[in-house]
Amino acid sequence: MDILKSWKNREKIKKVFARTDISLANEELKQKVEGIVKEIRESGDTALLKYTELFDGVKLSNLKVKPAKIEKVYNLVAPEFLRSLELAAKNITDFHKYQPFVSWTKKYEDGVILGQRYQPIESVGIYVPGGRAPYISTVLMTAIPAKVAGVKKVILCTPPSKEGISPYILAAAKLAEVDEIYQVGGAQAIAALAFGTTTIPKVDKIVGPGNIYVTLAKRAVYGYVSLDMVAGPTEIAVIADDSGNPQFIAADLLSQAEHDPLSTTILITTSEDLALKVSKAVETQAKLLLRQEIIQQSLTNSAIILTKTIAEAIELANEFAPEHLELQVENPWEVVDKIRHAGAIFLGAWSTESVGDYFAGPSHVLPTCKSARFFSPLGIEDFLKRSSIISYTKQALNKYGQEIINIANLEGFDAHAMAVKIRRESL
């Protein structure tokens, strides 16, 4: 990894930080995805079967996974794997139960009652990527918060292989109480969830990560359906002082580099000695890993940045606004309040990013590409909607009616004014 100095290589640092949402940059691919979405909307299941054979190499006659198949697979999964999933699911459930969203009302003078009412979204589609790996943990990290929020119907779409859907994804789906599972992926799955087909029902919201085709499809269907966020490639930043463990840090950087050739991994440190040791450890550890080709491509997007102070390191991290941020410094709790932009923050040397990806409890569906400046991690609030409660008495409307009439007249909406005026005149 390149070692850059904040006081000397500012332009190179800006270039590393300037990763953009790749879906914005490829007009040809955007048009291709929009064509797929249009065909799914017009031709439904016929187009879904066509694209599943074309993109996944699987010829299907039935898109839905039958409950009997799920039950059979679940009973064949190794007990130690189920135990790990069950413990992770418990942590995810417990964490999201502590995210209270309470309906409320308040009574004011003249009998006015105002408030808010929270209700779950009725149906949600969760997208679970296939491709380079079966994202088993994503099933739990998306479906469980939805169920905790009270969503009635959770539908899962994931691309099949020639052997079918991974049995581990099916087992995780059963554990997370997913209601229906469909073996379809990519842009075509997003379109099917957004518009509905003969087989796949239309949902109210789509959540979950995916590749550039999925990202572009989510953009194309936004407005017909609600979305969690439009995410790009994964990323991690580590802030470290001279107390940092170079082997730990290197391993954590590589844990994100193995995801995608476009992943970005950053170490920001005040210690030149640590920077050199981490660079060497990354090179050594990478040779032991399975996804070496992906990792090497990813590391070309990455860097180690030297700063003169931790305060400067924090400001650079806030500028980067990473999906994952680790604080491997001597006193992380003294630093955390200064972090303004990050999807998930990991405190201390033992809080590896892998804990968050699989087990701790918070959802690992996080904002990327600097969107941590305005997006939040997936949580139960993503599966709830608010209604405002407004109740006026005749006394209150009579008291404040002229103010309402004045504002309506200023905007030129005399029918709004009349709706108040006619009531006041009836008193």
130 and 94 in a single domain? The answer is yes
Q: Establish if 328 belongs to a structural domain.
A: yes
Q: Establish if 199 belongs to a structural domain.
A: yes
Residue 167 CA: distances (Å) to CA of 72, 127, 161, 296, 393: 10, 16, 11, 30, 59
Looking up tokens 């490829």 gives 26
74 and 210 in a single domain? The answer is yes
Number of domains in the chain: 3
**Each residue's pLDDT tens digit, 151-193:** 999 999 999 988 889 899 999 999 999 999 999 999 999 999 9
398 and 279 in a single domain? The answer is no
Which CATH number fits the domain that encloses residue 91? 3.40.50.1980
Q: Establish if 380 belongs to a structural domain.
A: no
Strands 226-227 and 205-207: parallel
40 and 132 in a single domain? The answer is yes
Does position 21 have pLDDT exceeding 90, yes or no? no
169 and 72 in a single domain? The answer is yes
Q: Establish if 407 belongs to a structural domain.
A: yes
- Predicted TM-score (pTM) of this structure: 0.91
Cβ atoms of residues 230 and 20 within 8 Å: no
Q: Which domain holds residue 174?
A: 27-227
State the average pLDDT over residues 408-412: 96
Of 161, 196, 227, the one marking the end of a domain is: 227
76 and 210 in a single domain? The answer is yes
User: What confidence tier does 133 reach under pLDDT thresholds 50, 70, 90?
Assistant: confident
Q: In angstroms, rounded to a whole number, what is the distance separating the alpha carbons of residues 354 and 83?
A: 18
Q: How does DSSP classify residue 66?
A: P
Question: Terminal CA-to-CA distance of the chain, rounded, Å?
Answer: 78
Q: Which of the residues are catalytic?
A: 323-324
63 and 116 in a single domain? The answer is yes
Does position 346 have pLDDT exceeding 60, yes or no? yes
Non-local CB neighbours of 282 within 8 Å, separated by 6+ positions: 1, 250, 253, 254, 299
State the average pLDDT over residues 39-54: 95
Top mean pLDDT of 88-97, 100-109, 209-218 is at 88-97
238 and 223 in a single domain? The answer is no
State the average pLDDT over residues 102-116: 92
Does position 94 have pLDDT exceeding 80, yes or no? yes
User: What confidence tier does 323 reach under pLDDT thresholds 50, 70, 90?
Assistant: very high
175 and 40 in a single domain? The answer is yes
What average pLDDT does the structure give for the chain?
Answer: 93
Residue 388's Cβ-side half-sphere holds a number of Cα atoms within 13 Å equal to 3
Q: Establish if 255 belongs to a structural domain.
A: yes
Q: What is the largest CA-CA distance in the chain?
A: 84
Of 205, 227, 249, the one marking the end of a domain is: 227
**Each residue's pLDDT tens digit, 216-267:** 999 999 999 999 988 788 899 999 999 999 999 999 999 999 988 889 999 9
Dihedral angle sign, alpha carbons of residues 94, 98, 99, 103: positive
DSSP states of 177-210: T-SEEEE--HHHHHHHHHH--SSSPP-SEEE---
Q: Establish if 382 belongs to a structural domain.
A: no
Of 360, 376, 403, the one marking the end of a domain is: 360
349 and 401 in a single domain? The answer is no
State the average pLDDT over residues 198-208: 97
Q: In angstroms, rounded to a whole number, what is the distance separating the alpha carbons of residues 372 and 343?
A: 5
Q: Establish if 383 belongs to a structural domain.
A: no
223 and 238 in a single domain? The answer is no
Give the residue, 29 or 46, on which the prediction is more confident: 46
Looking up tokens 């802030």 gives 239
172 and 101 in a single domain? The answer is yes
pLDDT at position 23 = 46
Q: Establish if 322 belongs to a structural domain.
A: yes
